[in-house]
Amino acid sequence: MSALFEPITLREVTIPNRVWMAPMCQYSAEPEGPLAGAPHDWHFAHYAARATGGTGLIVVEATAVSPEGRISPYDLGLWNDTQVEAFRRITRFLAAHGTVPAVQLAHAGRKASTDQPWKGGAPLGPQARGWQPLAPSAVPFDERHPVPTELTVEEIGGIVERFAAAARRALAAGFEAVEIHGAHGYLINEFLSPHSNHRTDAYGGSYENRTRFALEVVDAVREVWPADKPVFFRISATDWLQDDGWTTEDTVRFAGDLHAHGIDLLDVSTGGNASGVTIPTGPGYQVPFATRVKTSTPMPVGAVGLITETGQAEKVLANGEADVVLLGRELLRNPSWARHAARELGAEIRVPDQYHRSV
């Protein structure tokens, strides 16, 4: 059997194959009004196409736990029940076609309140539907971004509660798994890294203090999420800094903590928390970070980052470098990547009745 098309069971949820879709923001939700943050026809068509294309699990893009937690005014959210109802249309379709629906819960922290990328992605002020970003410390991401407001301890607790409330709504919306976004320079990652966390209280300084907020979020989500359904955590394994940053060694240590707190899979990415760094990209460039976690801890891992070819993805799994692969841009280019890969590998995959003539 192909390693890529072997099912995997996490808790009591079985995913039919190991071709997963990585969360990728579409920046296409309504920015304001009663439907702000709710998915609409674009999101339905986008995710439905990857489900009919055979993707085993889809992680819906970064979905904000509060309005001020959005990366842009055009992000999805799960802070109200109108959004829940809109998501149900997507999760029903994915499940009906054999794809496990998952959603990434997120807070953008100091990188919030920016424009759509195709419009330049610049920070937006209040006059352009923007707002004041929040962060562990009053340290801007770069010279373009405003100085964020440092969160109080009381406000930190409120955000933890927001993650739990969003997880409850994700369950009501029909999702079978949730992923906590702790990567790419967004709020949780900002707390983890000494590059962005300059606090001197119980949430800053030592490794234990810098990981406190993340573990509080994990505990809050795990408490409200069913025991038979998995929770994932996405991490940036390194800030790609020579010093004063989050490191691979920190990630390995933290993976053990996350596993002890009930996380079922670590989705391993890198970068995003420091501007101007040089990242040596290339095919599968982030896979070694996932492998390091997998060989050092009991935590199942997902590998991501320029995984584009069938043989490449199969090798990652067959060699035990990761437990699943998450495809991003390649699934934007080819929604039916999984079906094409199954054909190359001689593996069986579910095909919609309407598409049987293509087999």
Whether 186 is a known active-site residue: answer: yes
Which value, in Å, is the radius of gyration of the alpha carbons in the chain? 19
Q: Please identify which residue in the block is written with the tokens 């992923």.
A: 179
Active-site annotation holder among 47, 186, 207, 355: 186
Token digits of residue 170: 């994700």
Quote the strand ranges of 24-163, DSSP E.
Answer: 57-64, 76-77, 100-106, 134-135, 149-150
How far apart are the C-alpha atoms of 232 and 299, rounded to whole Å? 10
Quote the strand ranges of 187-300, DSSP E.
Answer: 231-236, 265-269
CB 165 within 8 Å of CB 172: no
Token digits of residue 141: 């991401």
CB 136 within 8 Å of CB 196: yes
| Cα four-point dihedral sign 91, 94, 98, 103 | negative
The β-bridge relationship of strands 149-150 and 8-10 is: unpaired
Active site residues: 186
